Amino acid sequence: MGERLLYYERAATALALEFIEIAKTTMLWMPHRHTGWIEPSYPYFDEELVQFMLAIPFRQKIRPGLTRYIQRQALAGVVPGATLMRTEKTSGTPNSYAALRREWDDISKLLGDDMRLGKIGLVDVGALRADVAKARAGFGKGLGWLWRVLAAEQWLRGNWG
């Protein structure tokens, strides 16, 4: 499965590089179980934010032993202190597996015989389905690869019918 994961990563990355500029100006709508469709946002693509962050002197961005100083200062009083001062990342893997089970009806539609990524030769749909079946059964090391493949598929469907 490791070799196929690398294949999926490369396929998703190739598509991401092609549509990242489009994503800045195009609204990409994603399925959502409870609200129908949601509009994702890309706050770090905002030109004013980028210019603002580049204008801040480096010495004000970094504090010894503390990362993301400016974000932590900005969110003080908004985010709980324990969360705000946390230094390690938490794994999203349990949530990913729960989302895979919860959203299975919508996900399985994206993995159908009309899968665009398969039609253009970027993904072996049969192998992908086998890997997703294993992941759905709880085997694997995370699902980041799957979310990227599904996002690419959703994007293709939204932009190229």
Three-class SS of residue 38?
strand
User: Tokens standing for 78?
Assistant: 């908004």
User: Tokens standing for 37?
Assistant: 């469709």
Give the Cα separation of 4 and 130 in Å (integer): 11
Which pLDDT score, from 0 to 100, does residue 161 have? 62
Name the percent of the chain in helix, strand, coil, to the closest 5: 65, 5, 30
Give CA 14 to chain center in angstroms: 15
Which pLDDT score, from 0 to 100, does residue 102 have? 87
Site of tokens 């799957």? 146
User: pTM value?
Assistant: 0.46
Site of tokens 């919860």? 102
pLDDT in tens, 24-73: 555 455 555 655 555 556 676 667 777 787 787 777 777 777 778 888 88
